Amino acid sequence: MGRYRDPRERTLVVCAAFDEALDAALASVRAGLRAGGVRAPAAPRHRAHLTLAGAPCPPAGTAAFTAAVATAAEGLPAVGVVLDEAGAFGRGAVLWAGPRRVEALRAWHADVAAALAGAGLVNAFATSEPGRWVPHCTLARRVRPAQAVPALQALLPVAGRAVALAVVEVGGAGDLALAPLTG
């Protein structure tokens, strides 16, 4: 049984933020989806990203969380990302792009998870645990998968790098913090 979440509790998420080239490519993909009749946001609430971990905001506040993420980012390498697979999750019809080859990203994610744990952050997302993590970038919600998945597949692949760890708030907008990776 899942833990009851108080609606007043803020959930913070650590994400892999992309370089400018991949951000621009994904903006073009969303425009292409809209041109093809798929409901994709022109201006999403958050940057395109790969979700890495998440947790309730600690009692010490957002600053403590973002400081721990900055500490974790120190020494972590940037990593190449090729989004060449399209799919949809669940009844909410979440449209996503992800990599076909995930081995290097999963190894990198395990390093990120270890660095976050070493900085004192405990991941509360079971689906973001190393070994269970499925790297994907959400591009739209409430779509018709039979239409949206083929439309997205026609716009892929796109490639770039994950160059920073971003902190976002569920239900919020924009970054709360951005910690660059090396390389």
Give per-residue pLDDT as tens, 4-46: 445 557 889 999 999 999 999 999 999 999 999 999 999 898 8
172: pLDDT confidence band, cut at 50, 70 and 90?
Answer: confident
Spatial separation of the C-alpha atoms in residues 118 and 40, rounded to whole Å: 37
Higher-pLDDT residue of 106 and 59 is 106
Q: Do 125 and 56 contact (CB within 8 A), yes or no?
A: no
Quote the pLDDT of residue 135: 93
Model confidence, pTM: 0.88
Quote the pLDDT of residue 8: 57
Question: Taking 60 as the threshold, does the pLDDT of residue 153 lie above it?
Answer: yes
For the stretch 119-146, pLDDT in tens is 888 888 998 999 899 999 999 999 999 9
Task: Please give the mean pLDDT across all residues of the chain.
Answer: 90
Quote the pLDDT of residue 128: 92
Higher-pLDDT residue of 36 and 3 is 36
Where exactly are the structural domains of the chain? Answer: 11-80+103-130+160-180
Question: Taking 60 as the threshold, does the pLDDT of residue 79 lie above it?
Answer: yes
Quote the pLDDT of residue 92: 67
Q: Do 148 and 154 contact (CB within 8 A), yes or no?
A: no
Two tokens at 101? 């080859």
Q: Do 12 and 55 contact (CB within 8 A), yes or no?
A: yes
Quote the pLDDT of residue 30: 97
Quote the pLDDT of residue 64: 86
Quote the pLDDT of residue 121: 87
Q: Which residues contact 57 (CB under 8 A, 6 or more apart)?
A: 9, 10, 11, 12, 65, 169
